[in-house]
Amino acid sequence: QTLLDFTYFSTTSTCFMLRYLMTFQRQELKRKFKNGPIKILCGKSQFSKRERLSGWKEDYESPKKKSIENELNKWKIKIRLEQDKYSPAVQCLNEEDVKLFFETVPPGEDCLRVK
């Protein structure tokens, strides 16, 4: 399966690449993902399934996922992340949000909301 893998990218680089791809490489994204959901590997902690000493399970959320969500919330059209059906380490960009984004924000135009 095709994934955007930002595992070894800094938060700044991840945000830059997302903006670049969604602004200037839309056709390539559509082609690579066969017009399906755009999937991003966010990773999951190796300890996320282990119980804590006190007995409760820690609800782990990937820092990469949080940084991507924060970035997407700054855009003119907010794009929600959804859990992939098959892998907890993969997040998908909501397809309806992406469609609206592509229809509303012209290619090459700044994707960020004006403050």
pLDDT at 52: 47
Query: DSSP letter string over 58-88?
Result: P----HHHHHHHHHHTTBSS---EEE-SS-T
Q: Could you say which DSSP state residue 90 is in?
A: E
Structure tokens at 4: 């955007």
Mean pLDDT over all residues of the chain?
88
Q: Which residue has the higher pLDDT, 58 or 113?
A: 113
Q: What is the pLDDT of residues 24-62, one digit of tens each?
A: 999 999 999 998 999 999 875 444 454 445 544 455 578
CB 2 within 8 A of CB 91: no
pLDDT at 45: 45
**How many residues would you count in the chain?**
115
Q: What is the pLDDT of residues 63-108, one digit of tens each?
A: 899 999 999 999 999 999 999 999 889 999 999 999 999 999 999 9
Domain ranges of the chain: 4-47+55-104
